[in-house]
């Protein structure tokens, strides 16, 4: 297999981008990534773009061709990748595999979503399609309610508290306050989370990620090209992808995402590391309970200890394993097709020492964890400053 590196990265500001369309977001993130890589667009041989539902959000299908058109790279092959909220992570994996398998030398992996052009009710219905339409959405089960059930079960089984859930939001907003591209670049208090309006008990408004517009992109290259054009490439040393049942009630467990566990196992085995060697991680915190489950399923703590670990500051910015230094989905924002790529951008900036006020000291190994739906898809990547 060819060794694969990220040599350039870029993203737009996340938020309610009323003055920008899907094309604008794609073009901005793509241009930033190409400029960061210091290459000519003619070097790029293929595109893999994550997008969950442009058809329902803005009435636009055929997004693969649109991406190539928007960034001026036609007629090279451009593929849309869809895996609900894991669309970006899976686009990154497909791009990685295309180079690792010797098909291409240089490719773009990107993600984009424009979610704010429709009413919230339509956004909720569209996102509900990431679950089981027939057995969940039809009967009124929204994603906040599904994750609320996961939270309730975690509280029942392990004694997790609402304050521990709130601690996740407080931490991620603290990190997001240091990220100028975040949708919510400000801090919040535990009291504010606890007093925010209830969405699906025990989850409150400030336990939930927002509706977001945004795009992100990375340039991937094989080893010989990367070393020729880049002084500080970030190497993708492990990549894992796994699935589970679409419906939550069909799972082996409501509090363990088996897809996360398997994707993590595959990625870490390929990278030759253990969870203890990870210096920082971006995990899928669409709701605060999702981060607690993630840090357990990845192996940073034992099952049931995630809530206490969050409240004790185990994953704070200056801890041994900072989690969601970007602000996560909660504070940085969650344009669903772009989130997995944003995670790779953040890890790359951290490993290159370019994360400014949120920089993790001596970061050498990073991990990104992207989930689709309530856990039916999980994609995990391991990144390193050193080629392995």
Mean pLDDT confidence for 20-39: 97
Q: What's the pLDDT at 174?
A: 98
Q: Is 375 left (phi over 0), alpha (psi -120 to 50) or beta?
A: left
Q: From the candidates 85, 230, 286, 332, which is the catalytic residue?
A: 85
Pairing of strands 4-11, 198-200: unpaired
Mean pLDDT confidence for 306-324: 97
Q: What's the pLDDT at 383?
A: 98
Q: 241 catalytic, yes or no?
A: no
Q: What's the pLDDT at 141?
A: 87
Mean pLDDT confidence for 268-276: 98
Is the confidence at residue 36, as pLDDT, over 90?
A: yes
Give me the DSSP letters along 344-387. Answer: HHHHHHHHTT--GGGPPTT--EEEEEEEETTTTEEEEEEEESS-
Six-digit token string for 196: 């925010």
Is the bond into 75 cis (omega within 30 degrees of 0)?
yes
Q: What's the pLDDT at 259?
A: 98
Q: What's the pLDDT at 139?
A: 87
Is the confidence at residue 23, as pLDDT, over 90?
A: yes
Mean pLDDT confidence for 18-47: 96
The whole-chain average pLDDT of the chain stands at: 97
Helix (H, G, I), strand (E, B) or coil at 340: helix
310: enclosing H helix or E strand: helix 306-311
Residues 6+ apart with CB under 8 A from 250: none
Six-digit token string for 171: 């931490």
Q: What's the pLDDT at 140?
A: 87
Q: For residue 46, count CB atoms less than 10 angstroms from its CB and return exposed for 0-12, middle for 13-18, buried for 19 or more.
A: buried
Give the confidence band of 388 by pLDDT, cuts at 50, 70, 90: confident
Q: 85 catalytic, yes or no?
A: yes
CATH code for the structural domain at 4-119+211-234: 3.40.47.10
266: enclosing H helix or E strand: helix 258-271
Mean pLDDT confidence for 164-186: 98
CA–CA distance, 267 with 45 (Å, rounded to integer): 26
CA angle 292, 296, 299 (to 5 degrees): 145
Helix (H, G, I), strand (E, B) or coil at 58: coil
Q: What's the pLDDT at 205?
A: 98
CA–CA distance, 333 with 338 (Å, rounded to integer): 10
CATH 3.40.47.10 residue ranges in the chain?
4-119+211-234, 129-209+237-384
| Residue 377: Cβ within 10 Å count | 26
Mean pLDDT confidence for 318-332: 97
> Which residue in the block uniquely carries the two structure tokens 């989690």?
323
Q: From the candidates 284, 334, 369, 381, which is the catalytic residue?
A: 334
Q: What's the pLDDT at 193?
A: 98
Mean pLDDT confidence for 82-105: 98
Q: What's the pLDDT at 252?
A: 96
pLDDT over 90, % of the chain = 95
φ, ψ of residue 5 to 5 degrees: the values are -125, 150
Q: Which is it for the CA torsion 199, 201, 205, 210, positive or negative?
A: negative
For 138-164, write each residue's pLDDT tens digit.
888 899 999 999 999 999 999 999 999
For 327-386, write each residue's pLDDT tens digit.
999 999 999 999 999 999 999 999 999 999 999 999 999 999 999 999 999 999 999 998
| Residue 356: Cβ within 10 Å count | 10
Assigned CATH class of 129-209+237-384: alpha beta
Six-digit token string for 153: 């079960």
Is the bond into 202 cis (omega within 30 degrees of 0)?
yes
Residue from 68, 61, 24 nearest 46 by CA: 68
Lowest mean pLDDT among 178-187, 271-280, 379-388: 379-388
289: enclosing H helix or E strand: helix 288-298
| Residue 1: Cβ within 10 Å count | 9
Mean pLDDT confidence for 223-236: 97
CA–CA distance, 146 with 136 (Å, rounded to integer): 9
For 238-255, write each residue's pLDDT tens digit.
999 999 999 999 999 999
Length reported for the chain:
388
């Amino acid at each position: 297999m060819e060794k694969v590196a990220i040599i350039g990265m870029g993203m737009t500001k996340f938020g309610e981008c009323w003055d920008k369309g899907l094309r604008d977001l794609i073009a901005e993130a793509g241009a930033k990534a190409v400029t960061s890589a210091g290459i000519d667009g003619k070097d790029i041989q293929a595109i893999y773009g994550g997008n969950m539902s442009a058809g329902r959000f803005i009435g636009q299908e055929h997004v693969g061709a649109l991406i190539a058109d928007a960034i001026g790279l036609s007629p090279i092959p451009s593929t849309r990748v869809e895996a609900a909220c894991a669309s970006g992570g899976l686009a990154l994996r497909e791009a990685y595999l295309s180079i690792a398998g010797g098909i291409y030398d240089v490719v773009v992996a990107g993600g984009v979503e424009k979610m704010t052009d429709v009413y919230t009710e339509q956004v909720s219905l569209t996102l509900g399609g990431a679950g089981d339409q027939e057995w969940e959405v039809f009967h009124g089960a929204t994603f906040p309610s599904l994750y609320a059930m996961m939270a309730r079960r975690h509280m029942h089984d392990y004694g997790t508290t609402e304050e521990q859930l709130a601690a996740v939001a407080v931490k991620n907003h603290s990190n997001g306050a240091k990220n100028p591209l975040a949708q919510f670049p400000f801090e919040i208090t535990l009291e504010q989370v606890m007093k925010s309006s209830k969405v699906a008990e025990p989850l409150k408004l400030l336990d939930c990620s927002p509706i977001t517009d945004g795009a992100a992109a990375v340039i991937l290259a094989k080893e010989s090209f990367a070393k020729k054009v880049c002084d500080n490439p970030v190497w993708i040393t492990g990549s894992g992808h796994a699935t589970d049942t679409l419906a939550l009630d069909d799972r082996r467990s409501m509090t363990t995402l088996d897809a996360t566990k398997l994707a993590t196992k595959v990625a870490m085995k390929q990278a030759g590391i253990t969870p203890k060697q990870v210096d920082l991680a971006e995990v899928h915190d669409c709701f605060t309970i999702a981060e607690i489950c993630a840090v357990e399923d990845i192996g940073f703590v034992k099952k049931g200890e995630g809530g206490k670990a969050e409240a004790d500051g185990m994953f704070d910015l200056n801890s041994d394993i900072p989690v969601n230094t970007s602000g996560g989905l909660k504070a940085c924002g969650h344009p669903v097709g772009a989130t997995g790529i944003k995670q790779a951008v953040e890890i790359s900036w951290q490993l290159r020492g370019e994360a400014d006020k949120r920089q993790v000291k001596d970061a050498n190994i990073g991990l990104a964890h992207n989930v689709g739906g309530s856990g039916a898809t999980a994609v995990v990547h391991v990144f390193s400053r050193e080629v392995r």
